[in-house]
């Protein structure tokens, strides 16, 4: 069963990465706010991916941003 982390609109990228690091499950789904711009940077997306890989955790994103879904697809992160 995946753990769902709902990201608040005012959350900083680093706080989300730390929340991911604290998870002790094998599947985490980040539910992102509509206009959250902290993952507009491809490097930050890869940082999240590396954090999940380090923890042996499967990461997925739920977002309404088409550009973010495309970047996630490029990095191999499922995005819906």
pLDDT in tens, 11-65: 999 999 999 999 999 999 999 999 899 998 899 999 999 999 999 999 999 999 9
What confidence score (pLDDT) does residue 40 get? 86
pLDDT of res. 69: 94
Stated pTM of the model:
0.91
Q: What's the token pair of residue 41?
A: 């940077």
* Closest of 62, 11, 67 to residue 41, by C-alpha: 67
Measured distance CA(39)–CA(45) in Å, rounded: 6
pLDDT of residue 41: 87
């Amino acid at each position: 069963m995946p753990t769902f982390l709902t990201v608040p609109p005012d959350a900083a990228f680093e706080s989300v990465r730390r929340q991911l690091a604290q998870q002790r499950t094998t599947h985490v789904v980040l539910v992102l706010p509509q206009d959250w711009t902290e993952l507009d940077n491809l490097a930050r997306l890869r940082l999240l991916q590396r954090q999940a890989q380090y923890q042996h955790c499967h990461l997925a994103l739920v977002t309404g941003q088409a550009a973010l879904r495309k970047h996630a697809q490029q990095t191999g992160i499922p995005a819906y």
